[in-house]
Structure 1
């Protein structure tokens, strides 16, 4: 291991006394310091698990066992039953085949293997809270997980329900509720891609307001940039390029922008016909992890109790819509700077 690698490992694994944080060690890594088996899971489906790659690489390089999972939008029923580890958990490896052309988990597993990294990606079908929690519980017990980090490509997982627009909350908040019900020493939420959800109507002044409220309550673990020249950023950009090649008809708009941001790109950086006619605003804020305590974030969600007893995705959607029909949303504000 090189001296640089030793330095990285020390920064990640240094202990934190009395639960306090220091500028020397990012709170995200301080919180994960006691963990030996970390599950990094994409909360919102699709390519969300890719948002966890820079973090996973940093932890792998520090000697931490990291496992990857994702709420999947793929047709998992097309995968042979031999790959199903449990009723709602598919164990995707580089050899796992699917007739579905949209299979981010498979593309990621093959890329990981090609880069000599742990190459299993666990996939969950879209579910309600109760069944998704069962799936997480299975992995926690099987893999002896002591820390879960939900990752979101974007920021709509940080919304509590009374914002002017919730973006696409169904999968994110289902994942949040599912993991909130697990008894684990460390549970975090980390979002990468600040500003991207403006495309779905999210007002990011409200996101910042929510982070400030969590900070006052002790639930905000700060912001951490993925450095352009880092190994983590280089591998992430390569993985995103590989995923774009694997799904040319539907490349990830979210991760295309984040990957561009990690390389110093700025402004209307177009990389797919999917965004033609929609000006993009790629900028350095997209390359920053914003991390919060999962339980404290869940406690602030105004409708989490509404979806607690759901079994299917449609139930979650219906109950969120019913909640929104009752609430008086905040008046959106313009970012003043």
Structure 2
């Protein structure tokens, strides 16, 4: 008997799914399969968009159209992925969402998993709540993955529970009366103990929203600045909560999800995203990847660049304080200090070694 958790967005939702499973189901001994995208954004993967099975070696077939990513799998260069390392450190089967055939393809993957495992429960988990976006919100940046998983789950002949963890933490939907009015019953309130099963993963995984979810579960409160644009996100008592949301109501709100119900390719999904939301986030990744490639061709020695970035840290923190910021992520620091994604881990290690009192795991505290 197996449980199935569908991670609605990118790799961070897969880590949150492991937290959720341990918190809600840890004592029942049912094995859990986490169905997730391999979409680690340009900080880890220089190739825009999500990865499919052809982008890996060493996958293990579960059904004719579903593959697991074990610890021994490897992304095919130049692609990158956190999933093999995640599989090596957490006791879960990570099944790969293949987005190439749109919502129709993911619906088939879900149906095959249901037939294969006959799961005792199926949860669709989104961290932040952007799965509830209408599509025209000015702060919405990454609606595509959530819309695809929502549209597919609504078409599967099985009981699926939609859970939203950390409402508002992704900074894409404000935690206003509209969003709060959609949230259903409180299912769980994450605590520091719930973070422990994924604590080691959070030391290296780059997900900002799951990092903030874990930080709020550990009691961190304040304002966290995220992403290259420096978006402020409030860390409040709502941060570690998990709410159930009616699946049909979510679909009725999400215009993009409704528009892509019959799509048969990722290109079709992107076309609808441009029409409904005014953009495709993969287009944004393509543009950013081109800029990063141009910059890397003329980049200075990495050690010299890191040293130069450290000299700008105090100035960054001073400006952040003036904006009311109390915490930030290492992704934000990496980009704000002019470093590339490959230098994030080195920057983090260096900062923690020099100023350990500012490490509010897994965030950086602005003193």
Q: TM-score, normalised by structure 2?
A: 0.64
Q: Deviations over 1:288-337 (max 9, x none)?
A: 11221323422443454421111222312321332346xxxxxxxxxxxx
Q: Report the counterpart of residue 247 of structure 2 in structure 1.
A: 294
Q: Which runs of 5+ in 2 are unaligned?
A: 40-49, 279-367
Q: 2:19 aligns with which of 54, 61, 69?
A: 54
Q: 1:263 to 1:276 in 2, by over 3 A?
A: farther
Residue 239 (structure 1) aligns with: 201
Change (3 A) 1:165 1:282: closer
Matched, 1:148 2:125: no
Which residue number corresponds to residue 318 of structure 1? 271
Q: 1:72 to 1:88 in 2, by over 3 A?
A: farther
- The alignment's C-alpha RMSD in Å is 2.8
**Offset, 1:262:** 1.6
Task: Give the match for residue 172 of structure 1.
Answer: 146
Give the SS at the match of 1:297.
Answer: helix
Structure 2 vs 1, CA of residues 269 and 304 (structure 1 numbering), >3 Å: closer, same or farther? closer
Q: 1:228-269: CA deviations, max 9, x gaps?
A: 2x2x2211333322x43xxxxxx1111222222121122245
Cα distance in 1, alignment partners of residues 272 and 19 from structure 2: 34
Q: What is the deviation of 1:172?
A: 0.2
- Shift in CA distance, 276/168, structure 1 to aligned 2, threshold 3 Å: closer
1:56 is displaced (CA, Å) by: 0.9
Distance 2:134 2:230 in 1: 31
TM-score relative to the length of structure 1: 0.69
CA change 1:275–1:164 in 2 (3 A) is closer
1:209 aligns with 178
Q: Are the equivalent residues in 2 in contact too, given 1:187–1:293 (CA < 8 A)?
A: no
Superposition deviation, residue 171 in structure 1: 0.8
Q: Size of the alignment, in residue pairs?
A: 264
Q: Is the 8 A contact 1:162 1:302 kept in 2?
A: no
Contact 2:58 2:70 in 1 (8 A): no
Which position in structure 2 is the counterpart of 1:225?
189
SS in 2 for 1:90: strand
Q: CA deviation at 1:210?
A: 4.2
Residues 13-71 of structure 1: CA deviation (Å, up to 9, x unaligned): xxxxxxxxxxxxxxxxxxxxxxx532111111232211212221131322334221102
C-alpha contact 2:7 2:17 (8 A) present in aligned 1? yes
Distance in 2, matches of 1:153 and 1:71, equals: 14
What is the Cα deviation at residue 221 of structure 1? Answer: 2.9
Aligned to 2:106: 132
Q: Would you say 1:267 and 2:254 are equivalent positions?
A: no
Match of 1:257 in 2: 212
Among candidates 185, 190, 195, match of residue 168 of structure 2: 195
The secondary structure found in structure 2 opposite 1:61 is coil
Q: Cα gap change, 1:211/1:297 in structure 2, threshold over 3 Å: closer, same or farther? A: farther
* Structure 1 unmatched runs, 5+: 1-35, 245-250, 326-337
In structure 2, C-alpha distance between the alignment counterparts of 1:190 and 1:282, rounded to whole Å? 19
- Kindly provide the CA deviation profile for residues 147-184 of structure 1, in whole angstroms up to 9, marking residues without a partner as x: 32111121100223465554421110110010110111
Q: Distance in 2 between matches of 1:79 and 1:66?
A: 22
